């Protein structure tokens, strides 16, 4: 379905139970009273390309039932309460999407979304990510490229942020527990940005890896063993931790 760049209003409600995709592209939506597309039945695959919505009570997409796949590319959501809202979905891909001046950017609840793939996105909202208190399943946010989350990130009990490539970065608030799946690497946080760096120290008791010895020491418990990847081992106890020089 092609909006041809014209300004539009209204809500498209779908009840799709097959695996055939529905594509929406080149839509401009303004001052809408509800979501642009609202899934009221299970199943379905939805693609959004170059869709823009602004100054609306809600946002681009709402899935209140099990949905297979959602892809949102090169789209802008501005001035909406809920940019996108999911209660149950397998995989969501956001690529070169921008959300600004929203209350909630990515909002999930109940079973939420198993996997979010976020690539080159800028999400500015009061809550750029919110895994609502009714969330009941692990929800993984995989980041590729340069991404920005501006606002308070609320991961609840089930949200997890992951940098999946050596070149992945995430500009966001501190203490979000960001991890990486890149072999032999860990995540560092400097100047408001999470990035992937080679790991130089491993805590053999916890399996956690660190970029610097000082980070490893600061996070270690008494009796833990820190292993340098140069095959040098440091045994950490209360006395050793107090006398090791800061690096």
- What does the block give as tokens for 28? 């401009």
Residues 155-178, buried b or exposed e (16+ Cβ, 10 A)?
bbebbbbbbbeeebbbebeeebeb
| Residue 240 confidence (pLDDT) | 44
Cβ–Cβ contacts within 10 Å for residue 23, how many?
A: 12
The Cα 200–Cα 23 span in angstroms is: 46
198 CB-side CA count, 13 A? 4
pTM for the full model?
Answer: 0.83
The Cα 172–Cα 195 span in angstroms is: 11
| Residue 63 confidence (pLDDT) | 86
| Residue 54 confidence (pLDDT) | 93
| Residue 140 confidence (pLDDT) | 93
Across the chain, which has 247 residues, the per-10-residue mean pLDDT values are 76 72 91 88 86 92 83 96 91 96 93 90 97 78 97 93 96 96 92 93 88 87 86 53 40
């Amino acid at each position: 379905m092609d909006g041809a760049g014209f300004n539009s209003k209204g809500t498209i409600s779908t009840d799709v139970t097959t695996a055939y995709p529905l594509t929406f592209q080149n839509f401009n939506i303004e001052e809408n009273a509800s979501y642009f597309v609202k899934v009221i039945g299970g199943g379905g695959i939805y693609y959004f390309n170059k869709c823009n919505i602004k100054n609306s009570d809600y946002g681009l997409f709402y899935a209140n039932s099990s949905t297979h796949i959602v892809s949102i590319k090169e789209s802008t959501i501005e001035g909406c309460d809920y940019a996108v809202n999911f209660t149950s979905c397998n995989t969501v891909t956001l690529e070169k999407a921008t959300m600004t001046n929203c209350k909630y950017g990515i909002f999930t609840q109940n079973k939420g979304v198993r996997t979010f793939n976020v690539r080159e996105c800028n999400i500015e909202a009061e809550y750029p990510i919110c895994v609502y208190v009714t969330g009941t399943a692990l929800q993984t946010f995989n980041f590729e490229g340069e991404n920005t989350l501006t606002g308070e990130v609320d991961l609840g009990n089930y949200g997890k942020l992951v940098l999946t490539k050596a070149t992945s970065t995430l500009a966001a608030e501190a203490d979000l527990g960001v991890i990486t799946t890149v072999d032999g690497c860990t995540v560092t946080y400097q100047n408001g940005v999470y990035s992937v760096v080679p790991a130089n120290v491993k805590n053999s008791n916890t399996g956690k890896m660190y970029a610097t010895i000082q980070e490893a020491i600061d996070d270690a418990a008494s009796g833990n063993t820190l292993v340098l990847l140069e095959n040098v081992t440091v045994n950490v106890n209360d006395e050793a931790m107090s006398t090791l020089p800061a690096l």
